[in-house]
Amino acid sequence: MSGHSKWANIKHKKERMDAQKGKIFTKLTKDIIMAAKEGGDPETNGKLRDAIEKAKANNLPNDNIQRAIKKGTGELGGGNYEEVVYEGYGPAGTAIIIEALTDNKNRTAGDIRYIFDRSGGSLGESGCVAWMFSKKGLITIEKRENIDEDELALQAIDAGADDFSSEGEEFEILTDPSNFTSVKEALEKSGYELSTAEITMIPQNTIQLNESDYEKFEKMIDKLEENDDVQNVYHNVEISS
């Protein structure tokens, strides 16, 4: 599990080797396509601007980025993706939310259901676990000697952040999704280098699993993240260090 942020870890991110780069590029490209449906100019489309920044941070070639934008705006074909959210219960009653982008909902639903069934979980109806989570903007900044915690906290709150905390080796800033872009841009203009900047789903409470259940849970999350249609996976399990 990468990172030091407890909430970033909730998303169960894992460092990918070069062999996984293709899957990452596929997900980043889909993000850009969907964002570009709201307009192909990143100057006026904050969602597209964020997707492009994330893609560049993960070394997605500029040609890929431009093709994805054109697919999203309709200049090129192949951008007919739909956003789908799945909810369900994993091993030991863990709560899981999956965000997917697909051009075939029947295929994706079948794949997700299969993973749940084979992992000892159950795919549920919309809303079955969403009430356990809050949608938030998450920004993390690595602690450095030249960063004054009080000053950073004040700037974040003044910019519209809901909460500021010091966690491990990072500062964490939570925002309402509607204020996320303005807070992010204000901190960047002040010269802060952001480690994480994304809209995420944060569980209101987390649970701990025993070793056996955690192993089953981890395998299930890995299978979900390996699916090309799956963009994000959120859950309420405390990650083992």
In angstroms, the CA 1 to CA 171 distance is 18
In angstroms, the CA 82 to CA 84 distance is 6
DSSP state of 138: E
Question: Would you say 139 and 196 are in contact if contact means Cβ atoms under 8 Å apart?
Answer: yes
Give the angle subtended at the CA of 75 by the CAs of 100 and 42, to the nearest 5°: 70
Residue 26, pLDDT score: 87
Structure tokens at 25: 């590029």
Residue 116, pLDDT score: 96
In angstroms, the CA 34 to CA 199 distance is 15
Residue 3, pLDDT score: 37
**Mind listing the pLDDT tens digit for each residue in 76-117?**
887 788 899 999 999 999 999 999 999 999 999 999 999 999
CA 72 vs CA 22, 36, 38, 84, 172: distances in Å: 20, 5, 8, 17, 32
> Which domains does the chain possess?
6-73 (1.10.10.200), 82-131+206-235 (3.30.70.980), 133-203 (3.30.70.980)
Residue 20, pLDDT score: 66
Specify the residue for token string 């899957």. 23
Low-confidence ranges of the chain (pLDDT < 50): 1-4, 12-17, 19
Give the angle subtended at the CA of 152 by the CAs of 52 and 185, to the nearest 5°: 25
Its pTM stands at 0.80
Instruction: Give the orientation angle of helix 211-226 with respect to helix 105-118, to 10 degrees.
Output: 160
Q: Which of 72, 75, 80, 112 is nearest to 96 (CA)?
A: 112
Residue 23, pLDDT score: 78
Left, alpha or beta for 59 (phi > 0: left; psi -120 to 50: alpha)? left
